[in-house]
Structures are given as C-alpha cells and as structure tokens.
Amino acid sequence: MRSLINITDLSVEEIEELISVANDIIANPEKYREKCRYKKLAALFFEPSTRTRLSFEAAMLELGGSVLGFSEAQSSSAAKGESVADTAKTVSCYADIIAMRHPKEGAPMVAMMNASIPVINAGDGGHNHPTQTLTDLLTISREKGSLNNFTIGFCGDLKFGRTVHSLITALSRYENIKIYLISPEELKLPSYVKNDVLKKNNIEYIQTTNLEEAIPNLDILYMTRVQRERFFNEEDYLRLKDRYILTPEKLIGAKEDLCIMHPLPRVNEISPSIDNDKRACYFKQVLNGKFIRMALILKLLEVE
C-alpha cells in the first residue's frame, strides 16, 4: 500500500507516469468516469482550503467515487482532543483513501503510520505540499513541454511557503534547472532546503531581493503569498505582505513565453490586470490540480 507524504515518495518515472495519465484524462475524460465506482475519499481538512479540498473532491466524483470528511478541525472530534493517530484509524473503517491537510508539520505522516488505507499529504504546516507540486509539474510540462532546461524564479515568502519547498525538492531531480530565490531577508528559503536540496544536488541558484532585475532572466515566475497564518507577529506580516506585487509594468522586460505561476490563494502579489495576459498560468494550474489528483487517486488505489 502506497501513500504520498513527501514528493520524493514518488520516483521521477512515477511522476512522469502520473503526468501521462493526467494528460490522458484531459484528452479522454469519459474513459475514467467509472474507475472509482464504490470507492470513497475522506477529505480531512484541519486547516482552510479551497483548491486542494475541492479539487480532491471533484477528482473523486469525476472518477465515479464518493467523498466524505470535514473542512475544519472544529467540526471533528479533534476539537474534543482526539489524536491524529486515532482519527486515521477511525477513518480507515469508513473510506478507501485519505487526503489530509493539517497545520502541524508531520501530521499526515502520523496518519499514514496509523491508517490501514493510503494517506495523501494535502499540506502540512510550513513543510510540504506534494500534490500542489504534482499540479505545478503538470503545468510546467504542459506549458514548457519539458521538466528540464529552464530558469525559474520563486518570489515572496520562501520561508513558510510549503509549495516552494516541495517544488524545489522535485526540480532538484531534473536537468539544467537554474533557480532565482527572490524574497525579503526575513523570508529567505530555510537553510535545510538550501543545504539538503540545492547545494547537495549542485543546483545553480541566485538569492536576491530584487524582482525587477530577475524577471528578464526567467522562463517561469512562481509568485507566492506571504503566509500570514505562520507569523508570530502581526506587525512583521503587515510590513512584509506587499513587498512584491507583480504588475504589467514589471513585465515589460520579461520573456514573451514567460509562464507566470502561483499556487493561490493570491492576496496582492499579482495584479488582477495580469489575469488576461497569455503568460498568466495560475488558473490553468487550478484546473490541472484536479486532473493530476485524479491520476494520483488511481495510482494509490491501484486502479488499472
């Protein structure tokens, strides 16, 4: 039985296979309508979500399965003090697969160790978000035609942004990737990601605070939100939240085929006036998230 807790739980070949299945689902959705008939997905969301929860639910429904679960800790027995381990054992009696989001780093791992069904990490604190990474990889593959040979800039909250940590980890296994890390000093990429992923894999990277200077060099710009919920101090959040706002003026020197990504939700980081620019890919990412999660559910449930 397989689960997905970190993106490295999947080999490069398995990611390629998931992308291939997702592309086939996009091309031939009718083939997949009954694949998960009588199967149930439990969506256990202890933290707010729009895209991840609803795309998991839509994915299972489009595969012919059913969904159950909760969208906030307060409506589960976690509010009465039940542990993640007991929740996982309980839900294993009712469902075939779990997607779990939790504010505590490592909670989905604890669930996996106690569940008798596959567990998918749908985001754990400031740590990891592997299914967003699969979404991002499918988007890059569809937009750029390859997961090798490009320069990507990550901009914003690189300290708490779990999607950034997971995607950098995933990209470290591909060829000829150059990375710009664009953030305020206070929100720099954690040293464990820098040392254990970038340095260890000899990935070329440049750290800067200057978005405008980096933009002309980029094939992909990955904007992120400053993660208010992870700050200890509201003053720091208010000081940093609008540090980077992508506007049409800032794109004047950008490449014609730049791919602008954002895991969303956005607050102020990308001006809505960019939404109709052909380089804006963030709502394509949203849609791709459903298809790659369909492919992942099929794989973990071992559906042919």
Site string for ligand CP, 71-90 (x = CB under 6 A): --------------------
Question: Which one from 35, 52, 224, 293 is the annotated catalytic residue?
Answer: 52
Window 246 to 275, contacts with ligand CP (CB under 6 A): 263-265
- Chain centroid to Cα 128, Å, comes to 8
How many residues of this chain bind ligand CP (CB under 6 A)? Answer: 9
End-to-end CA distance of the chain: 15
Question: Which one from 2, 51, 230, 250 is the annotated catalytic residue?
Answer: 51
Beta carbons of 24 and 31 less than 8 angstroms apart: yes
Q: Does the annotation mark 228 as catalytic?
A: no
What amino acid occupies position 196?
D
Report in angstroms the alpha-carbon separations of 70 from 99, 114, 145.
11, 19, 37
114 or 135: CB nearest ligand CP: 135
52 or 114: CB nearest ligand CP: 52
Per CB under 6 A, 50 contacts ligand CP = yes
Nearest residue to 137 via CA among 163, 161, 111, 114: 163
CB of 122 to ligand CP, least distance (A): 7
Q: Does the annotation mark 129 as catalytic?
A: yes
123 or 126: CB nearest ligand CP: 123
Question: Which one from 129, 162, 225, 243 is the annotated catalytic residue?
Answer: 129
Q: Give 188's DSSP letter.
A: P
248 or 265: CB nearest ligand CP: 265
Q: Does the annotation mark 101 as catalytic?
A: yes
For tokens 């490009």, name the residue. Answer: 150
97 or 254: CB nearest ligand CP: 97
Q: Which residue in the set 2, 51, 188, 299 belongs to the binding site for ligand CP (CB under 6 A)?
A: 51
Can you tell me the distance from the alpha carbon of 96 to that of 151, in angstroms, rounded to the nearest whole number? 40
Site string for ligand CP, 122-161 (x = CB under 6 A): -x--------x-----------------------------
Can you tell me the distance from the alpha carbon of 90 to that of 49, in angstroms, rounded to the nearest whole number? 23
Can you tell me the distance from the alpha carbon of 275 to that of 292, in angstroms, rounded to the nearest whole number? 23
Three-class DSSP category at 255: coil
Question: Which one from 39, 101, 127, 142 is the annotated catalytic residue?
Answer: 101
Q: Give 240's DSSP letter.
A: H
> Tokens standing for 280?
């804006």
Residues with catalytic roles: 51-52, 80, 101, 129
Chain residues binding ligand CP by CB under 6 A are 49-52, 123, 132, 263-265
